[in-house]
Structure 1
């Protein structure tokens, strides 16, 4: 009852916010505007790569203070019971490890590193719909991206790019090349690419918020809707902060190409090569279509990019429908815009009933993981090696590729947008 009263008070305080769909900007009272303010009084943004653009972001995140608006949003969500009390992990033998006695597969932790899926909410995505491939790449923008972007453009292929904030900041020309193709969806992969469960709540706010900020400022004000945790490392605390502070939906994957490991001789699972990664991709793209594929791939090196390019014809020849992550989910690309060419709009958030706001993540007790959707080739991501106290397997962006239990509840796009923006207004 107290929470409902507080929500009603805040809704009355802010009132209804509605603007014309033709307006690219948010009114000052809009909650998204409060989190990500325009850079100057005229509503303009510095040109990507300019001195003013570069100076707007920190050279050292460790000495950066969390902006007051982000901290207020976090505090209000925390006080509302939306963000669990869960201590950060520590790195043991190269793996994020919980304190003794904490079960990473329990409902109160639900570590995605350990393949626990948070069930019954729309805050975490693992699978594409049947017959679809969610095309996505991690870790850009980087020099090898200049091979990938022309290929995607030539083939009119939409894709989601989970960008690292520092890589955007350090490679503005390459970043702009991606922005110049309206089919490319820009999403969040944190600012410095840490294991997210090792971060404090304040560090999580900076890792996510700064990356959202640079994308927002560089796309005319679009606010990303999707993010992917580096190494696939998240839990109920990390997912809740991403969702209830920034309205970010967490995207994991159901197959790991291990392309990031090509040539790496230090991993106990063996040496991955162009051939072994290509074999894995071929196996999945010629295999069953249920569930649909979200494959972990990278624009990290020439090898990773070429593995995608060399197997790309298999998408069409095997009848897959290949789109960006939000497109296969039939959702808008951004919180405030359908895609890169649609106008930015502000929903009438106060008109959305409080009941539409999703409950905090509360996964049931995990059940044994089902068999993978297809048999992996030799050297595939199905191999696991125990390491550290928690016994997780080492990986660049996740520590296993077996499917976890559970499924994602289906909610319409309109309901999800209303719920997301309604939850934002509760915090101010």
Structure 2
């Protein structure tokens, strides 16, 4: 039997080959290419922003077919369903676009549905920050309108959590790299195209999460996110179970909504209303702590936070990136985004064997430290596929992974087998 170090070296070489498929390039993006940080998991990834980088991922505007989803992800989904870990729940229906999905004949406020849209709280999901903590996060980036926010964070040496959309990362690689490399902020999943997730089939849910996780992995020197936020807060027991069991992702919602996404829309919030709400919450009670829904969508959405920012410290809040509320690692295989931080080799595509810990019942809302935080080896596959394009209610343009909780030595052979299978699938 080969020595563990030899096996792990072989795994890294195979993963490197998969991470850089020289497929036909997509159209060039408007932004210039920039290299990934030198430090990381030891794999040489394509430079962020280049055609080689984007070629392995869904093409915006073209629907993803089930046959284009990596088989490892579908196998993990099938295993989770066979084990009874994913409820047999039909997708929700939506008669009118951008309205709350419905569940004919079922109560969305209770099991087995428990829809976050209807404020049903699964105890494993994250809604509240610990008392006195301002749990900071922003949705829908990266965008060109993100930069005023990023500059404020940079000037104040602050780290936040960015729930990023896959197609936006493809379109704004320069802004993405500023968030990841310059700010060293925490990168999390906000799906590939920003759909109402409960309206999708199981396979579509896998594609929306998996391709976003894969793109973040390939663009951050191999890091694998631990958190995702459903667009519109639209999650239920089926969707959250797929996110957890297939990709090891914890579902994050919020306890206050600025409705900044609706600024400028007919009947939407006004900027003064958003400003007033932020002031009210920041100057108000500190129990529970705040997780406020905010966006990088426009100068108004980022401007509202920039204006309210001084109030956070003035009113005694502890500013903390949302992905750090549990005190554990930001990613499954790395503690944070610092260029010198350890990144264990990982791949998206093998079944996830860890568990997402429950939220603390102490009333603080802080999630317990999970079995998946830190040092998990996980499997990666890449594929050439396509995605559909939609327009979300927040006005931004959108387009409509699994983890293996094993040690790098004892599971090297199993992980290598998964990589070889993926390589054979890609070459067929």
Q: Quick check: TM above 0.5?
A: yes
| Other-structure match for 1:338 | 335
C-alpha spacing 1:99/1:180, structure 2 compared with 1 (3 Å): closer
Measured on the aligned residues, the alpha-carbon RMSD in Å equals 3.3
Q: Is the 8 Å Cα contact of residues 333 and 376 (structure 2) preserved in structure 1? A: no
Displacement, 1:150?
1.1
1:113 to 96, 110, 117: 117
C-alpha spacing 1:169/1:91, structure 2 compared with 1 (3 Å): same
C-alpha spacing 1:335/1:163, structure 2 compared with 1 (3 Å): same
Give the secondary structure class of the aligned counterpart of 1:148. helix
| Other-structure match for 2:129 | 128
| Other-structure match for 2:382 | none
1:275 to 257, 272, 277: 272
Displacement, 1:412?
2.5
Displacement, 1:409?
7.9
| Other-structure match for 1:80 | 83
Give the secondary structure class of the aligned counterpart of 1:113. helix
- Aligned partners of 1:297, 1:54: CA distance in 2, in Å? 28
C-alpha spacing 1:418/1:220, structure 2 compared with 1 (3 Å): closer
C-alpha spacing 1:423/1:173, structure 2 compared with 1 (3 Å): closer
Provide the aligned length of Structure 1 versus Structure 2: 348
Give the secondary structure class of the aligned counterpart of 1:97. coil
Note the 1:2-401 alignment, pairs <5 A: 38-39=19-20, 43-59=43-59, 60=61, 62-64=63-65, 65-94=68-97, 95-119=99-123, 121=124, 124-265=125-266, 267=267, 271-341=268-338, 342-345=341-344, 357=355
Where does the alignment leave 5 or more consecutive residues of structure 2 unmatched?
Answer: 23-41, 347-352, 379-401, 407-413, 419-428
Displacement, 1:98?
3.3
2:369 corresponds to 1:412: yes
- Aligned partners of 2:111, 2:176: CA distance in 1, in Å? 39
Q: Is the 8 Å Cα contact of residues 164 and 188 (structure 2) preserved in structure 1? A: yes
Displacement, 1:93?
3.0
Displacement, 1:183?
3.2
Q: Is the 8 Å Cα contact of residues 333 and 339 (structure 1) preserved in structure 2? A: yes
C-alpha spacing 1:301/1:27, structure 2 compared with 1 (3 Å): farther
Q: Which TM-score applies when normalising by structure 1?
A: 0.74
Q: Is the 8 Å Cα contact of residues 86 and 237 (structure 1) preserved in structure 2? A: yes
Where does the alignment leave 5 or more consecutive residues of structure 1 unmatched?
Answer: 1-14, 348-353, 364-405
C-alpha spacing 1:40/1:273, structure 2 compared with 1 (3 Å): same
- Aligned partners of 2:115, 2:85: CA distance in 1, in Å? 17
Q: Is the 8 Å Cα contact of residues 288 and 365 (structure 2) preserved in structure 1? A: no
